[in-house]
């Protein structure tokens, strides 16, 4: 007798992103102060944290990295504090536009890179949620965002153009430029996949007068929860601050 095998139903990438966002919350413990990132994937982590508070009675407070995240967390009734109230955060969960094998990142596609970096640097560890398309051998395929003071825009653009092999474009254009939560503007810099030393490039750009922040996160990320067509996989940085059980190293 010929038996038909049941159809294989592949989860959509969006479903897997949701699973990854939820999986990242395995690093969350009762009593934590958590940096709440910005982006379409980490949104699922924020929704899960709200569920943990509501249904499991967990005592968690959050520090949002953008006004969009603040609005979402407020709607979900996650208790929020300002960063200076917490001083040090236990964990930040955020997204990324690219990550490499050294767990270095490009962030800022959503325009919140400055607050995201401030919050991440104030955290004992950082977990990134991303889909498999964000994993690269060398950073730079995604245009590098740089936040600048509006008054210094032209000078910064010229300075970056002298070291960037591709275009340096004002996000949103001159007629309706994108304005960050800090009142700055974003330059998207097309370096291409050549950023083999992101720490050096970050320092070089940050030395330009008028630069607020660079969307390179070097040595900050400790784990990446990756969604792909085959499922969700958690990558732990071998020399990072998280151990295999998901705890924070002393």
Q: How many CB atoms lie within 10 A of CB 16?
A: 22
Which DSSP string do the residues of 91-127 spell out, in sequence order? EEEE--SEE-TT--EE--TTS-HHHHHHHHHTBS-EE
Distance (Å, whole) CA 191 – CA 203 = 15
Given its phi and psi angles, is residue 172 left (phi above 0), alpha (psi -120 to 50 degrees) or beta?
left
Question: Which is catalytic among the residues 98, 116, 147, 202?
Answer: 116
Q: Is 116 a catalytic residue?
A: yes
Q: What is the phi/psi pair of residue 236, to 5°?
A: -105, 130
Distance (Å, whole) CA 145 – CA 107 = 7
Q: Which helix (H) or strand (E) holds 223?
A: strand 223-228
Distance (Å, whole) CA 170 – CA 183 = 14
Instruction: List, in order, residues 6 or more apart from 184 with CB less than 8 Å away.
Output: 114, 147, 148, 149, 150, 212
Q: How many CB atoms lie within 10 A of CB 26?
A: 13
Distance (Å, whole) CA 69 – CA 73 = 6
Catalytic residues: 116
């Amino acid at each position: 007798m010929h038996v038909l095998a049941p159809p294989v139903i592949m989860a959509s990438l969006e479903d897997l992103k949701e699973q990854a966002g939820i999986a990242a919350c395995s690093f969350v413990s009762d009593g934590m102060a958590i940096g709440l990132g910005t982006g379409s994937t980490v949104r699922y982590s924020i929704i899960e944290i709200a569920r943990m508070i509501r249904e499991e009675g967990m005592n968690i407070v959050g520090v949002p990295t953008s006004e969009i995240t603040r609005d979402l967390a407020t709607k979900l009734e996650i208790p929020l504090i300002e960063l200076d109230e917490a001083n040090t955060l236990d964990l930040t969960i955020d997204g990324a536009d690219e990550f490499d094998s050294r767990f270095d990142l490009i962030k800022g596609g959503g325009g919140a890179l400055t607050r995201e970096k401030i919050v991440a640097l104030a955290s004992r560890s950082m977990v990134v949620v991303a889909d498999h398309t964000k994993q690269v051998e060398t950073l730079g395929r995604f245009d590098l965002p740089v936040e600048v003071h509006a008054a210094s825009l032209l000078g910064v653009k010229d300075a970056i153009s002298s070291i960037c092999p591709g275009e340096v474009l004002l996000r949103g254009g001159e007629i309706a430029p994108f304005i960050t939560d800090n009142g700055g503007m974003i330059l998207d810099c097309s370096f291409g996949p050549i950023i083999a030393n992101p720490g050096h490039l970050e320092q070089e750009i940050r030395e330009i007068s008028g630069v607020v922040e660079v969307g390179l996160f070097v040595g900050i990320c400790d784990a990446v929860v990756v969604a792909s067509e085959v499922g969700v996989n958690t990558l732990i940085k071998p020399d990072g601050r998280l151990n295999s059980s998901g705890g924070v190293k002393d």
